């Protein structure tokens, strides 16, 4: 995490053969705006064949509604 605004990550998933034996690397980064909104990107790189998510880009958008201004009712 840099400046509480940018983040980067990487990982490796190693699944046992009993559960499918999938193996892949992941890499991603995220951006947070005004501590309310965020946008994350992730990329999956398989090291074995047959993955339906091979070389896919995942994008997620999130919002923190608790950080939004409170509405005052009369």
pLDDT at 67 over 70: no
**Pairwise pLDDT comparison (35 vs 6), residue with the higher score:** 6
Decide if 53 is inside a domain: yes
Is 72 inside a domain boundary? no
CB 55 within 8 A of CB 39: no
Region for 21 from its dihedrals, namely left if φ exceeds 0, alpha if ψ lies in -120 to 50, beta otherwise: left
For residue 59, is it within any domain? yes
Confidence (pTM):
0.66
pLDDT one-digit tens code per residue, 13-59: 988 989 888 888 999 999 998 888 999 999 998 888 777 777 889 99
User: Which domain does 57 fall in, by range?
Assistant: 6-65
Number of domains in the chain: 1
Residue 73 belongs to some domain of the structure: no
The answer to whether 62 touches 38, Cβ cutoff 8 Å, is yes
């Amino acid at each position: 995490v840099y400046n509480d605004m940018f983040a980067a990550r990487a990982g490796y998933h190693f699944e046992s053969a009993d559960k499918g034996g999938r193996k892949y690397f992941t890499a991603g980064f995220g951006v947070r705006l005004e501590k309310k909104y965020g946008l994350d990107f992730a990329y999956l790189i398989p090291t074995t064949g047959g993955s339906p998510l091979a070389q896919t880009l995942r994008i997620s958008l999130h919002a923190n509604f608790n950080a939004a201004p409170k509405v005052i009712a009369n």
